Amino acid sequence: MKRNQAGFTLIELIIVIVILGILAVTAAPKFLDFGGDARKSVLQGVKGSLESAGSLVYGKAIIAGVQGTEDTTVESIPVTFGYPKATAVALNAAAELSDFTMGGAVAESIPGTPGQIRIGESTDAITDTGACYVLYTASSADGDKPAISLVSTGC
């Protein structure tokens, strides 16, 4: 008596599954944006680094007794009200962010207003159209922390 085959063998099914798996692995990165998530994660790390560095510098300013001074230095870091100023020099000295692009910010042009600086991975990222940066706004009064926010709409 002859047996008729009524389906696929187990080996044929396994081969098809392996081929589909290989295609899925090669095609998935084209459809999923892992780069944007990575850029956001890096900027969240930058934000945390700025917050930590600001707290450490403020602690040193308290020890030096200059936390209420608007314009001074603490261990060669330019500070305003005890926190790092919104300049590339101050933030690089405090948080060692030399691998990032800084700029595109509103300078302290009006007396009494805090300075701002944008920190991102490239010059294009720190523009309004790039919109993938951390915005650091310096302390504006004694006892106020600097405002640090993440702008990730363009990541």
Instruction: Write down the pTM of the prediction.
Output: 0.75
> b or e along 59-74 (b: 16 or more beta carbons within 10 Å of the residue's beta carbon)?
ebbeeeebbebeebeb
Domain parsing of the chain, residue ranges: 36-151
* Average pLDDT value for residue range 109-134: 79
In tens, the pLDDT along 8-62 reads 788 989 999 999 999 888 887 777 777 888 889 999 999 999 999 999 999 999 9
Please determine, for residue 111, whether its predicted confidence score (pLDDT) is greater than 90. Answer: no
